[in-house]
Amino acid sequence: MARSGRGLGSERVREALVGYAFIVIPMFSFLVFSIYPLFYALYISRYEWGILGKIEPLGLENYRELLRDDLFGKAVKNTLLYTAVVVPCQMALGLGMAVIVNQALRFRTFFRAAFYFPSLASSAAITAIAIFILSSDGLLNSLLGTDRAWFADSDTALPSIMGLNIWTTSGTMMLFYLASLQSISTDVYEAAAIDGARTWRTFWKITFPLLKPGHFFVLVVSVIGSLQLFDQAFIASGGGGGPNYATTTMVLYLFQTTVQDFRFGYGAALGVALFVLIFTLTLIQRLLFGRTEAA
């Protein structure tokens, strides 16, 4: 009661200043390297734009071309298919592993590290190794007794990348789930145990629903990551997105358009389309999971 209103205010101001001082550098780089390019891309997408800059204004022609573009359609289809398969698998695997390593197991720390390990390796290195393993005279074929060139066959090229990424990134998903799992109060489990609930029932009736914020976070991260698939597709196909367009993803196509053909305006339009897609999907997820839980 002794403190005056003004004194409280100045302390709050000081606290706030310290807070802003901490975020000023990341905020600055966020504005300069993320927000500014985002709006600049919107601007560029309305021009024919080359290496040395503006060539001519096109209005919405780049977007109209996008709708007619066969290759863009294929890229969207591949990207969505990839996302539809990879996201549920990643989530299930991540959750499964998190539940396992959340128990009082022997060597628990070892398993946690081991499950997370693939996420540490660079995707480029893993893809390069996968090329050897999946080649027609590679390890996988000698195990299976076949001679399929997995990356060179349009039926198996994308599924191969799917498998590769489910394996490497589920460790990260496990980490997210583990954090959520540990935030569930043990009281609930004790109550369930007293009521005589079995393990399976406890998982479905208590753990799974209480993980809702965790589900939302993992889903959003996983969907965004999947929609941005690039490096594995680029390396496995040598940049061409083949065979038979099987590994042409939206970001790979964007890369080909800008970096190889120098069509920056059209590339920016592609980027905007990708942004709209990611934004819409995230919005839908947020609506599905409800606003309060998501926060």
Partner 1 sequence: MRRKHFAFVAALGALVLLAGIAASVTHGKSEKGKQTAAPSGTVTLAGWSVSTVESALLKQVIKGFERKYPRIKVDYSALGDYDRAMLAKFSARQPPDVFYVDSNRAPTWIKQGVLEPLDSYIKKAKFPVSPFYSKLMDAFRVKGKAFRVKGKVSARKIYGFPKDWSPLGMQINTEMLAKAGIKAPTTWAQLRSAAQRLKSRNAVPNGKPICLAADWARILAFVYQNKGSFLNASKTKATVDTPAVKGAIDFYLSLMKADLLDIPAKLGSDWCGEALGKEKAAIIFEGNWLVPYMVEKFPDVGYKTFPMVKGKQQGNVAYTVAYGIGRNSKNKEAAFTLLSYLVGKVGMKTWTSKGLALPSRKDVKPVAGRAAFLKAAPYARPWQFAAGFDKVMTVAGNEFSAVVEGKQTVSAMLKKIQDEANATLRRGG
Residues of this chain that bind partner 1 (CB under 8 A): 9, 12-13, 16-17, 20, 24, 27-28, 31-32, 50-52, 71, 135-138, 147, 149, 151-154, 240-245, 248, 256-257, 259-263
Q: Which is nearer to partner 1, 126 or 218 (CB)?
A: 126
d(CA 276, CA 273) in angstroms, rounded, equals: 5
Q: Which is nearer to partner 1, 122 or 154 (CB)?
A: 154
For 151, which DSSP code?
A: G
d(CA 229, CA 83) in angstroms, rounded, equals: 9
Q: Which is nearer to partner 1, 70 or 187 (CB)?
A: 70
Tokens of 172: 């990260």
d(CA 29, CA 185) in angstroms, rounded, equals: 38
Is omega for the bond preceding 159 within 30 degrees of 0, making it cis? no
- Asked if 138 contacts 132 with a C-beta cutoff of 8 angstroms, the reply is yes
| 233 CB-side CA count, 13 A | 30
Q: How far is the CB of 288 from partner 1 (least distance, A)?
A: 31
Q: How far is the CB of 271 from partner 1 (least distance, A)?
A: 16
Q: Which is nearer to partner 1, 66 or 95 (CB)?
A: 66
Q: How far is the CB of 244 from partner 1 (least distance, A)?
A: 4
Q: Which is nearer to partner 1, 155 or 190 (CB)?
A: 155
Q: How far is the CB of 35 from partner 1 (least distance, A)?
A: 11
Q: How far is the CB of 214 from partner 1 (least distance, A)?
A: 31
Is omega for the bond preceding 243 within 30 degrees of 0, making it cis? yes
- Asked if 233 contacts 249 with a C-beta cutoff of 8 angstroms, the reply is yes
